[in-house]
Structure 1
Amino acid sequence: MSRPIRKAVLPVAGLGTRFLPATKAVPKEMLTIVDRPIIQHVVDEARAAGIEHIVFVTGRNKHVIEDHFDINYELEDTLRRRNKAAALELLDKIRPDAGSTSFTRQQEPLGLGHAIWCARDIIGDEPFAILLPDVIVKSQKSCLAQMVDVYNERGGNVIAVEEVPEDQTHQYGIVKLANGPRNRAMPIEGMVEKPAPGTSPSNLMITGRYILQPEIFKLLSDQEKGAGGEIQLTDSMIKLMESQTFTSLQFEGRSYDCGSKIGFIAANIAFGLEQSDISGELMTIMSDLTRAKAAE
């Protein structure tokens, strides 16, 4: 029987240079999708999958993320005195239970693999999830919860994937599937990081959601720097495939790359259209702007 997935790692040490000057003083993870920071959407996904403890791997100037998940006594006292019950209930709902979060520092920007390795002592010898905070997933059932279902059935390691156009595969990490009938959950027999155009083994990109076994930490510790002079998570996963199974899951839902400007804007529109109090006005504004642009 597979050991349960209780912990998740969220690497939040990146600089967010693509969003300068907005991210000069505000972490990119705290930019909002409608009315919630990006990081809140990712944490909500993890908690919906039954994650009990979240490890944030932070960097310099990321203390506001820790503050976001803490009590703000002055704010809550003011809301209480003003009888803002709904706002107080919302803040209480998003606050993690005491002791259910940890924060550790990635002191140098040595890559995603290094950021995950920084969480090794907190995770310990148990399987865990990784959620990249640049990516948020809009779905009926939490993307990670879908992955946990597959993990509970098959064990091993599970990676979320989704289709991309063939002419864009060179921009992503791509999986190679084992031969056999195609379905949503398929064994993986290889991975390629940003394959050259025309050489991609599939059109399934790695989305930024992983369930990995703790043996990955030993491989990350031993690993030399790879592409870009950084310690790459993909390189260690490829080594781990020599001894453990990997399963890809084409999850139900859609991801938004909030590390890019267009993905960030698209996410705001998609989530905004789901909110009944603003969706109608938002559609009107989008229609008006589209007609005005076409008329230029």
Structure 2
Amino acid sequence: MKKVTKAIIPAAGLGTRFLPETKAMPKEMLPIVDTPTIQYIVEEAKESGITDLVIVIGKGKRAIEDHFSPNYMLEANLKSKNKTEMLEMVQKSNEMNIYFIRQPYPNGLGDAVLTAQSFIGNDPFVVMLGDDLMRDQVPLTKQLINSYEKSGKSTLAVTRVPHQETSKYGVIDPVSEIETGLYDVKSFVEKPDPEVAPSDLAIIGRYLFTPEIFSVLEHTKPGKGNEVQLTDAIDTLNKSEDVYAHEFKGQRFDTGNKLSWLETNIEYGINHPEIKADLRAYLLELAEQLKKEN
């Protein structure tokens, strides 16, 4: 069985939910406190044993390339001033093989993954979405790799969501629980209405695929939103080879809309070594103020 060492981060979306900020800045570069969202994804990949990473970008995403490219002038400046901690921080991005592929037109997540086929070749690989930050003792990507090493099956991450929110996600219809937290799946349904949703187990932004997914994506027609939906391809793949679902039980932070992005910043901020004390004090003061107003 081939070792999983490659990953894809799709980052070609237009980021319209964050306009006007994302008119000039990629949404993946929006900071969580002081770190671009996409850097957390890259660090998770590295901690999980990924050595080769491709980021699928579109027009207006140059800032992502710049962020993950060495900045020799900045590094020399920090080195000359003995700012070792800052130097190590900016050099983190230099420790992986990071490549970029351009998706000509935004045509859905499935199409973005297919764009990276030449990079992946005939190897198993992980897809990591930038909207979801995961926190657990073992990185979620590593959890999926561990599961794959035992089963040899494509495995995607799911988590339980309130039933009324199933229309926001791809949802699985589980056949059985093979072992604790690992499900054999009958079908995968893209954004079902709560009345017909087969479960509360929603697909979140980490997938591990065998390379067979590419031949399926090549023949997947546009679905919801007239885009090539990755969930549709997964459901088709499941008809020819088993696809498993791994239930994630750690903390998931959704950065895909303005409110959840602000909530994520607060969650990370109250644990940030530089600002946590002042931020916690401010939040307590704000809570008291809101109580008085209500």
Q: 1:201 aligns with which of 190, 198, 203?
A: 198
Structure 2 CA distance for aligned equivalents of residues 186 and 3 of structure 1: 23
Is 1:275 the counterpart of 2:275? The answer is: no
**Cα-to-partner distance string for 1:11-30 (whole Å, 9 max, x where unaligned):** 00011111111111111101
Which residues of 2 match residues 1-296 of structure 1 at below 5 A? 2-97=1-96, 100-180=97-177, 183-296=180-293
User: Is the 8 Å Cα contact of residues 69 and 96 (structure 1) preserved in structure 2?
Assistant: no
TM-score, length basis structure 1: 0.95
Q: Structure 2 vs 1, CA of residues 49 and 217 (structure 1 numbering), >3 Å: closer, same or farther?
A: same
Encode CA deviations 1:108-152: one digit per residue, 9 max, x unaligned. Answer: 111111110000011001111000111111222211011111111
Aligned CA-pair RMSD: 1.4
Which whole-Å CA distance do the structure 1 matches of 2:123 and 2:250 have between them?
Answer: 28
Q: TM-score, normalised by structure 2?
A: 0.96
Inter-partner Cα distance in structure 2 for 1:41 and 1:181: 31
> Secondary structure of 2:95's partner?
coil
Whichever residue aligns with residue 120 of structure 1, its letter is Q
Q: Does structure 1 retain, via aligned residues, the 8 Å contact 2:189–2:232?
A: no
Provide structure 1 residue ranges, at least 5 long, that are not aligned to the other structure.
none
- Tell me the CA shift for residue 177 of structure 1: 0.9
Aligned-pair distance for 1:214?
0.8
Residues 60-113 of structure 1 deviation map (CA, whole Å, 9 limit, x = unaligned)? 11111111111112211221222212111222233234xx12111101111111
Q: 4+ residue runs of structure 1 moved beyond 4 angstroms?
A: none
Cα shift readout 1:166-203 (whole Å, capped 9, x = no counterpart): 11112211111113577211211211111122211110
Asked if structure 2 preserves the Cα contact closer than 8 Å seen for 1:161 and 1:207, the reply is yes
Q: Give distance in 1, aligned partners of 2:89 and 2:33.
A: 15
SS in 2 for 1:54: strand
Q: Percent identity?
A: 39
Greater mean alpha carbon deviation, residues 244-253 or residues 39-48 = 244-253
Q: Distance in 2 between matches of 1:180 and 1:197?
A: 22
More moved, 200-209 vs 253-262: 253-262
Tell me by how many angstroms 1:215 deviates: 1.1
Q: What secondary structure does 2:184 align onto?
A: strand
Q: Which amino acid aligns with 2:56?
A: V
Out of 86-95 and 119-128, give the one that drifted further: 86-95
Shift in Å at residue 274 of structure 1? 2.1
**Counterpart of 1:29 in 2: which secondary structure?**
helix
**Partner Cα separation in structure 1 for residue 105 and residue 273 of structure 2:** 43
CA distance in 2, matches of 1:203, 1:168: 9
- How many residue pairs align between the two structures? 293
